[in-house]
């Protein structure tokens, strides 16, 4: 192997310091996030035009963190209370959410009472209203149909009370709306159903969401909207 007669000289790497005279930072225009005034800034992180505005922004940031912490604590408390609820409470909440959807569904469809066919009073001031969500096959005899949408219809409260209507009238209304095949299926045998706590929670969440979507789709008016429209027409 040949050897070089003279070694290669390597010069050390020397970084030249920048000339301070030529090193200048130009300010950029910005808008104060508190008062909206225009100002010039050298630091991109600065979003305020004065110490007073900076203090106000800092207070707002602290308040936002406090509110976020409060909301998180409320969510945790709600989750804790939900976990402590008994099956009976969860069942009642699920049934209430389901029944509310059924009433809104039939209201938007323009249905009358499933039993007598009379118009339903949706705007009643009576506590609890005058419209029930009536089960064709009762929840006691057919728990598997408690949350079957075909089995439940909007019904006059008077018809849903003992002696308010007959089984034949209810069945005739069901056949007219759903057909004989569906009614016979509902009347047929059903396997026993035992709901778990998480099923009640799922049903409540599902029908709360379905009710919200249904109202948004039809933009359900308030009870005073009709009177306001009438006043505008005069």
Rounded to an integer, what distance in angstroms lies between the CA atom of residue 65 and that of residue 69?
6
* H helix runs in 85-221, sequence order: 87-109, 157-160, 167-178, 180-187, 197-218
Question: Quick one: pLDDT at residue 12?
Answer: 67
Tokens 């409320």 belong to residue: 74
137 closest CA partner among 128, 124, 150: 150
pTM: 0.66
pLDDT in tens, the chain (234 residues): 555 566 666 666 666 666 655 556 788 889 999 999 999 888 888 888 999 999 999 999 999 999 999 999 999 888 888 888 898 999 999 999 999 999 999 999 999 999 999 999 988 777 668 899 999 999 988 999 999 999 999 999 999 888 888 889 999 999 999 999 999 999 999 988 889 999 999 999 999 999 999 999 887 555 555 444 344 333
**Alpha-carbon gap, residue 54 to 33, rounded angstroms:** 9
Report CA-CA distances (Å) from 223 to 76, 208, 228.
36, 21, 10
Nearest CA among 109, 110, 132 for reference residue 119: 110
Residue 199: which of 149, 146, 152, 150 has the closest Cα? Answer: 146
């Amino acid at each position: 192997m040949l050897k070089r007669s003279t070694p290669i000289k390597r010069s050390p790497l020397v970084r030249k310091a920048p000339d301070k005279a030529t090193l200048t930072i130009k300010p950029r225009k910005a808008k104060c996030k508190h008062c909206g005034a225009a100002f010039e800034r050298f630091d991109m992180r600065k979003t305020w035009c004065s110490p007073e505005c900076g203090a106000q922004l800092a207070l707002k940031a602290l308040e936002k963190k406090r509110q976020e912490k409060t909301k998180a604590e409320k969510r945790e408390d709600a989750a804790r209370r939900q976990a402590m609820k008994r099956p009976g409470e969860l069942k009642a909440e699920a049934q209430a959410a389901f029944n509310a959807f059924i009433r809104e569904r039939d209201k938007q469809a323009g249905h009358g009472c499933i039993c007598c066919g009379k118009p339903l009073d949706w705007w009643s001031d009576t506590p609890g209203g005058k419209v029930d969500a009536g089960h064709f096959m009762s929840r006691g005899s057919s728990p598997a149909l408690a949350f079957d949408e075909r089995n439940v219809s909007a019904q006059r409260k008077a018809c849903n009370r003992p002696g308010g209507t007959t089984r034949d009238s209810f069945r005739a209304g069901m056949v007219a709306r759903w057909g004989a095949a569906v009614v016979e299926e509902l009347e047929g045998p059903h396997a026993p159903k035992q709901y778990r706590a998480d099923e009640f929670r799922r049903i409540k969440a599902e029908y709360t969401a379905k009710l919200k979507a249904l109202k948004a789709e039809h933009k359900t008016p308030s009870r005073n909207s009709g009177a306001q429209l009438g006043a505008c027409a005069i």
